[in-house]
Amino acid sequence: MDIFSIAGISYYLTKETYIKVTNKKEPYFQGKSYFAICPCCGNPIQIINLFREEYEENITKRRRLHARHIPRSILGIAEYNEEKYHSCELHNPVAFDLKKIGNNSRKNEELKELIEKNKKKIIYAIKAITSFYFKNERLEKIINSFLENKNYCYTYINRFNIPYVILYTEKSINIYGQILNIDNELGQEIYSSIERKSDFFTINEEKKILKREDVSFFSKIFLMIHEHRVSNGKQTVSLKIFEEGNNKENIILERTITMTEFIYKLGEKND
């Protein structure tokens, strides 16, 4: 996982943040082992590769900084609870399924309230996931539609995967006229793919998607998120860029994205 909790407060896992909130003291620093608490189930977790990429997970082969559950009690950290561990949404995620509705009304209302109070953060997360600078008003409409359709009731949604679920349940998004963020690997790949593979569109100097000058017929270009997969604790979704025009469809890019966790709070509105 990419988040951790200390004293009831959840944080995104970076070396700097972990060192700052733990002050490099026991019980979090124990020799060459580093511990924290799972924000979901409250069990102990171990911070892996805090100072260098020295440990490779047997199953996932990850070598980057991350946290994983440790199935035993850690003195001063937390008592291990096996039942909570096996039901933990971070340890045991559920594949997205548009057919399964949860009947836990308390959980549903909590998720609804969480989304309503964190719209700005969710908007920022959607922009980061897709690498597009969508207008806030447009993404807020998508979030409001998600709430109105009660999509927060699906069994697979939890407070850590909200932006992905919103994108997954949303129809394909028309990205014509949108500005692309190329300051990351995904943005650069989308830029390169449109320039090389699109028959109808190009990207100008402002990184805005526009129709090619030689295209006179009606055409559209879309982004969609689909195919959520869970494998050995790793979650991914597929991002697809495609275009339609002149009675044909052309896939410009299909890429797998590794999901990360997001932190949202009920205490402060849109903080």
The percentage of the chain sitting over the pLDDT mark of 70, rounded to a whole number, equals 94
Residue where the block lists tokens 């977790």 = 45
Tokens of 258: 């590794």
The token duo for 172 is 């394909």
Average pLDDT, the chain: 91
User: What pLDDT does residue 59 have?
Assistant: 47
pLDDT for position 60: 47
What digits encode the pLDDT tens for the residues 131-164?
999 999 999 999 999 999 999 998 889 999 999 9
- Model confidence at 231: pLDDT above 60: yes
Residue at 106: amino acid letter = R
Segments in 158-202 forming alpha helices (H): 162-169, 185-197
Q: Are strands 66-69 and 201-203 parallel, antiparallel or unpaired?
A: unpaired
Whether the pLDDT of residue 75 is over 80: the answer is yes
pLDDT (average), residues 207-225: 95
* pLDDT at residue 88 greater than cutoff 50: yes
Q: What is the DSSP string of 133-161?
A: ---HHHHHHHHHHHHHTTGGGBTT--TTS
With 0-12 CB in 10 A as exposed, 13-18 as middle and 19+ as buried, what is 269?
exposed
Q: Which residues pair with 203 in a beta bridge?
A: 209
Tens of pLDDT, residues 28-66? 999 999 999 999 999 999 999 998 765 555 444 556 899
Please determine, for residue 20, whether its predicted confidence score (pLDDT) is greater than 50: yes
Query: 55-87 burial, b if ≥16 CB within 10 A, otherwise e?
Result: eebeeeebeebbbbbbeeebeebbebeeeebee
What separation in angstroms does the CA of 165 have from each of 84, 170, 241, 245? 23, 8, 18, 29
In this prediction, residue 271 has a pLDDT band, given cuts at 50, 70 and 90, of very low
Q: CB of 211 within 8 A of CB of 176?
A: yes
